[in-house]
Amino acid sequence: MKKIKRYSSVAIVLCIALIGFSFVTDKHGKYFQIAKNIEIFTNLYKEINTYYVDDVDPASLMRTGVDAMLESLDPYTNYISESEIEGFKYMIDGKYGGIGADTKEIDGNTVITMTHEGFPADEAGLKPGDIIVTIDGKSTEGKSSDNISDILKGSPGSNVEIQYKKPGASKINSVSVIRKEVKVPNVPFSGMVSDNVGYVALTTFTQDAGKNVSNAVKELKKTNPNLVGVILDLRGNGGGLLREAINICNVFIPKGEEIVVTRGKVKDWDRSFRTLNAPVDEEVRLVVLIDNNSASASEIVSGVIQDLDRGVLMGQSSYGKGLVQNTRDVGYNSKVKLTTAKYYIPSGRCIQAVSYKNGEPVDIPDKERTPFKTKNGRKVLDGGGVKPDVILKDAKLSNVLKGLRKEHLIFKYVTDYQLKNKVVAEPDSYNFKDYTGFMDFVSKETFSFDTKTEKMLKGLKEKASEDGFDNLIESDIKSIRDKILQNKKNDLKKYQSQITESIEKEIMKRYYYQKGKVQISLRNDSEIKDAVKLLNDPARYKNLIK
């Protein structure tokens, strides 16, 4: 302990000496400003902690200051505290120490919403719909989903005691669960979506993503000699490790091809990344599906495929994140994840959005984006994400489905359905046929959701009351609201197909886990059907990339 204190004293003296040296050598420069403002911040922190009228939590106060400082930069530069390290490791590696279950607060209860196949929660008999009452003897009441997630995570091999209730039951059950390393698959499903077209779903660019995609494509080729095309699904994929993006490109692109260049303030960190291995297949027709939530590493892969004219992009424009983050230790097992570079793909473009609003990229008109050329001379644009070669209309969720999800009614219905049905058909043959039963279930629940029109009506009524016109238009507002209410009831029938798809996905997730959910979603996926159609039209496919 004395040795540590001595080292700390030496460190403090050195810091003071360095600050003093910066004053002398750089009296009006950046280092002087850093030292000056650190001193002001320290004094301010001390004064508030000492004299503010109420007790202040020093850690909470500092975290507020740190978050506000980083918020002024970009949405991807974040402070990671010691308590958040497990979650950060999951983002990078796709694995964490825990029980392999997701939870959500529903009606004031901590409810399990998903278990991962073969992991401790699943093996212990915990199921979606179960209500967690206590964890290691401590009540879950009043705790957020994030709090519960942090409590359930821990070192592999450690024990956690869970008390829970089955849905609809009052009896409290107890189970002892031993945590282990949970690794969530980044390729939850791959298989054939037609006689000659294969499909690979990639959900995140965590460790081994490249190897898993490579193995999936090899298996498709091995078991289907008549394979003419592959669909790589990056929809909703928020990215991850840069090296895995390179590896996935390498599945379809020859060895030695430059994939991406990173450039930042520290020139010694600038790097060029090339493919290192022989490809799995550089000839098979390829469609990459993207959407507005495909970001970062997803945009590297889709942008590279487009720039090198290796395949066709379909869907909606991607998110627009062309930045590279690195983590730096800042002491006490905490880190800062900060943006250190921008990346540039083979055409020379960077797809980074130039401005943000509420943490989201702002759409950039094409006329304000700089044009570049693909390998075959096609025009592509920088900034604001990757624009698909074939733009597909984004299927919008109906307001009634949004309302059902917001109030967890589909989840609740499927929980009830699972109690009555111990087994169901496999994903490739299952069809949900009891929509009348679902409507009856909803009618017994308190189901309400405000449309934009209703919110405007509410505002109109408030303004009318302020102006003294409320009695004058009250009957008109009531008449409009009654018509909207009847229309919302009709929406359950009008959007039966869309709601049924959502019910089927939830049912398959219960019986066949994440893989089953992906499988059944493919059956009614119009974008998959469009991709299959394109891959079976070689003339159109070649025309799009040539």
CATH classification at residue 279 = 3.90.226.10
pLDDT given for residue 6 in this prediction: 40
Phi, psi of 42 (to 5 degrees): -60, -45
Domain boundary among 168, 183, 198: 183
> Between helices 242-252 and 297-307, what is the axis angle to 10°?
30
The token pair at 167 is: 């849905």
For residue 75, tell me if it sits in a domain. Answer: no
pLDDT given for residue 376 in this prediction: 96
Query: Which residues, in sequence order, are CB contacts of 366 under 8 Å at separation 6+?
Result: 381
Using alpha carbons, select from 385, 184, 390 the residue that is nearest to residue 296: 385
Q: Which amino acid is at 165?
A: K
Q: Which residue is it, tokens 């299959």?
A: 532
Could you tell me the pTM of the whole model?
Answer: 0.79
Q: pLDDT tens for residues 381-399?
A: 998 899 999 999 987 888 8
Query: Which residues, in sequence order, are CB contacts of 87 under 8 Å at separation 6+?
Result: 96, 149, 150, 153
Verify that 138 and 199 share a domain, yes or no.
no
Listed range (333-342, 480-489, 530-539) with the worst mean pLDDT: 480-489
Q: How confident is the model at residue 149 (pLDDT cuts 50, 70, 90)?
A: confident
Using alpha carbons, select from 184, 177, 165 the residue that is nearest to residue 110: 165
Strands 138-139 and 159-165, bridge-based pairing: unpaired
For 253-337, where are the alpha helices, taking DSSP H only? Answer: 297-307
pLDDT given for residue 410 in this prediction: 96
**Are the C-beta atoms of residues 233 and 314 closer than 8 Å to each other?**
no
Verify that 160 and 268 share a domain, yes or no.
no
When pLDDT is averaged across residues 3-9 and rounded to a whole number, the result is 40
Report in angstroms the alpha-carbon separations of 377 from 307, 374, 384, 389: 9, 5, 21, 14
pLDDT given for residue 367 in this prediction: 85
Verify that 372 and 404 share a domain, yes or no.
no
Verify that 179 and 211 share a domain, yes or no.
no
C-alpha gyration radius of the chain: 27
Verify that 257 and 387 share a domain, yes or no.
yes
* Helix, coil or strand: residue 142: coil
Report in angstroms the alpha-carbon separations of 9 from 4, 5, 149, 348, 413: 9, 6, 39, 50, 63
Listed range (53-62, 194-203, 412-421) with the worst mean pLDDT: 53-62
Higher pLDDT, 366 or 231: 231
The token pair at 281 is: 């297949």
Q: How confident is the model at residue 70 (pLDDT cuts 50, 70, 90)?
A: confident
Report in angstroms the alpha-carbon separations of 407 from 146, 410, 438: 19, 8, 14
Range of the domain at 22: 2-56
Q: Which amino acid is at 470?
A: D
When pLDDT is averaged across residues 193-200 and rounded to a whole number, the result is 97
For residue 159, tell me if it sits in a domain. Answer: yes
pLDDT given for residue 12 in this prediction: 43
The sheet carrying 312-315 orders its strands as 189-192, 197-201, 229-233, 285-290, 312-315, 390-391
pLDDT at residue 161 above 50? yes
Q: How far apart are CA 511 and CA 204, in angstroms?
A: 23
Using alpha carbons, select from 260, 256, 232, 257 the residue that is nearest to residue 323: 260
pLDDT given for residue 91 in this prediction: 59
For residue 218, tell me if it sits in a domain. Answer: yes
Query: Which residues, in sequence order, are CB contacts of 464 under 8 Å at separation 6+?
Result: 470, 472, 473
Q: pLDDT tens for residues 360-389?
A: 777 778 888 899 999 999 999 998 899 999
Strands 197-201 and 101-106, bridge-based pairing: unpaired
Verify that 111 and 212 share a domain, yes or no.
no
For residue 162, tell me if it sits in a domain. Answer: yes
When pLDDT is averaged across residues 397-417 and rounded to a whole number, the result is 92
For residue 543, tell me if it sits in a domain. Answer: no
Verify that 175 and 196 share a domain, yes or no.
no
Domain of 139, CATH number, reads 2.30.42.10
Question: How many CB atoms neighbour CB 169 within 10 A?
Answer: 12
pLDDT at residue 16 above 60? no
Mean pLDDT of the chain: 87
pLDDT at residue 429 above 60? yes
The angle at the Cα of 204, spanning 301 to 532, to the nearest 5 degrees, equals: 60
Q: How confident is the model at residue 7 (pLDDT cuts 50, 70, 90)?
A: very low
Q: How far apart are CA 180 and CA 459, in angstroms?
A: 52
Verify that 195 and 271 share a domain, yes or no.
yes
For residue 533, tell me if it sits in a domain. Answer: no
pLDDT at residue 66 above 90? no
Q: How confident is the model at residue 529 (pLDDT cuts 50, 70, 90)?
A: very high
Verify that 257 and 363 share a domain, yes or no.
yes
When pLDDT is averaged across residues 305-319 and rounded to a whole number, the result is 97
When pLDDT is averaged across residues 417-432 and rounded to a whole number, the result is 94
Q: How far apart are CA 363 and CA 318, in angstroms?
A: 11
Q: How many domains, in total, are found in the chain? A: 4
Verify that 266 and 347 share a domain, yes or no.
yes
How much helix, strand and coil, in percent to the nearest 5, is found in the chain?
45, 20, 35
Most confident residue range from 57-61, 403-407, 466-470? 403-407
Q: pLDDT tens for residues 509-521?
A: 999 998 999 999 9
Verify that 35 and 177 share a domain, yes or no.
no
pLDDT at residue 525 above 70? yes
The token pair at 321 is: 């994140």
DSSP state of 240: B
For residue 325, tell me if it sits in a domain. Answer: yes
Q: What is the DSSP string of 203-215?
A: --B-TTHHHHHHH
Phi, psi of 369 (to 5 degrees): -105, 140
pLDDT at residue 21 above 60? no
**Are the C-beta atoms of residues 20 and 36 closer than 8 Å to each other?**
no
Using alpha carbons, select from 217, 314, 289, 301 the residue that is nearest to residue 259: 301
pLDDT given for residue 283 in this prediction: 96
Q: How far apart are CA 508 and CA 506, in angstroms?
A: 6
**Are the C-beta atoms of residues 211 and 224 closer than 8 Å to each other?**
no
Percent of the chain whose predicted confidence (pLDDT) is above 70: 89
Q: How far apart are CA 144 and CA 152, in angstroms?
A: 12
**Are the C-beta atoms of residues 23 and 32 closer than 8 Å to each other?**
yes
Q: pLDDT tens for residues 88-119?
A: 666 556 567 889 999 999 999 999 999 999 99
Domain boundary among 394, 425, 446: 394
When pLDDT is averaged across residues 124-139 and rounded to a whole number, the result is 95
pLDDT given for residue 145 in this prediction: 82
For residue 242, tell me if it sits in a domain. Answer: yes
Verify that 260 and 290 share a domain, yes or no.
yes
DSSP state of 397: P
* Helix, coil or strand: residue 70: helix
Higher pLDDT, 69 or 410: 410
Domain boundary among 121, 155, 183: 183
pLDDT at residue 10 above 50? no
Q: pLDDT tens for residues 433-474?
A: 999 999 999 888 766 665 666 667 777 777 777 777 777 777
